[in-house]
Amino acid sequence: MTAANMIVPLIITFILLFGLFRRTDVAGEFTTGASEGLKTAAELIPILVLVMTAVGMFGASGASAHLAEWISPLAERLGFPPECIELALIRPVSGSGAIASLDELYSRISPDSFAGKTAAVLMSSTETTFYTIAVYSAAMRKKLGSRVFIAAAAADLTGFILSPLMVRLFIR
Amino acid sequence: MLGIILAVMLVLSAVAGFLGGGWEEISDAALGQCVKAVELGIYLAGSMALWCGLMRVAERSGLTRIVSRAMSPLIRLIFGRLDASSEKAVSLNLTANLLGLGNAATPTGIEAVRRLEKSSHPRRNTALITVINTASIQLIPVTVAAMRSAHGSAAPLEILPAVLVTSLCSAAVGVITASILFSEEK
Mean pLDDT of B143-158: 87
pLDDT band at A162 (very low <50, low <70, confident <90, very high): very high
Q: Are B62 and B88 in contact, with CB atoms under 8 Å apart? A: no
Reference A141, options B36, B114, B40, B82; nearest CA is B114
Q: Are A92 and B73 in contact, with CB atoms under 8 Å apart? A: no
Q: Which residues of B touch A166 (CB under 8 A)?
A: 161-163, 165-166
Reference A41, options B4, B61, B53; nearest CA is B53
Residues 141-180 of B with CB under 8 A from A: 141-149, 151-156, 158-159, 161-163, 165-167, 169-171, 173-174, 177-178
**Per-residue pLDDT, B55:** 85
Mean pLDDT of B95-114: 82
Percent with pLDDT over 90 in chain A: 41
The answer to whether the CB atoms of A135 and B100 lie below 8 A apart is: no
**Per-residue pLDDT, A172:** 66
Residues 5-64 of A with CB under 8 A from B: 7-8, 11-12, 15-16, 18-19, 21-22, 24-26, 29-38, 40-42, 44-45, 48-63
Residue boundaries of the structural domains of chain A: 62-171
Residues 18-47 of B with CB under 8 A from A: 19-20, 22, 25-26, 28-30, 32-34, 36-38, 40-42, 44-45
Question: In angstroms, what separates the C-alpha of B121 from chain A's closest C-alpha?
Answer: 12
Reference A144, options B144, B108, B122; nearest CA is B122
Whole-number average pLDDT of chain B:
87
Residues 44-63 of B with CB under 8 A from A: 44-45, 48-63
Q: Which of A35, A57, A147 to mutate to test the interface with B (most CBs of B within 10 A)?
A: A57
The answer to whether the CB atoms of A30 and B25 lie below 8 A apart is: no
**Per-residue pLDDT, A15:** 92
Residues 125-144 of A with CB under 8 A from B: 125-127, 129-130, 132-137, 139-142, 144
- How many whole angstroms separate alpha carbon B23 and alpha carbon A65? 16
Higher pLDDT, B114 or A1: B114
Longest CA–CA span in chain A (Å) reads: 64
The answer to whether the CB atoms of A155 and B131 lie below 8 A apart is: yes
Q: Which residues of A touch B177 (CB under 8 A)?
A: 150-151, 154-155
Is residue B114 within 8 angstroms of chain A, CB to CB? yes
Percent with pLDDT over 90 in chain B: 34
pLDDT band at A2 (very low <50, low <70, confident <90, very high): low
**Per-residue pLDDT, A142:** 79
B185 has pLDDT over 90: no
Lowest mean pLDDT among A134-148, B45-59, B62-76, B92-106: B92-106
A69 has pLDDT over 90: no
Higher pLDDT, B101 or B159: B159
Q: Are B9 and A55 in contact, with CB atoms under 8 Å apart? A: yes
Q: Are A61 and B26 in contact, with CB atoms under 8 Å apart? A: yes
What distance lies between CA B10 and its chain's CA centroid? 24
The answer to whether the CB atoms of B123 and A60 lie below 8 A apart is: no
A110 has pLDDT over 80: yes
Reference A24, options B61, B103, B7, B157; nearest CA is B61
Q: Is B39 exposed, middle or buried (0-12, 13-18, 19+ CB in 10 A)?
A: middle
Residues 6+ apart with CB under 8 A from B38: A45, A48, A49
Mean pLDDT of A141-166: 91
Whole-number average pLDDT of chain A:
88
Mean pLDDT of A45-61: 86
The answer to whether the CB atoms of A156 and B2 lie below 8 A apart is: no
Q: Which residues of B touch A134 (CB under 8 A)?
A: 2
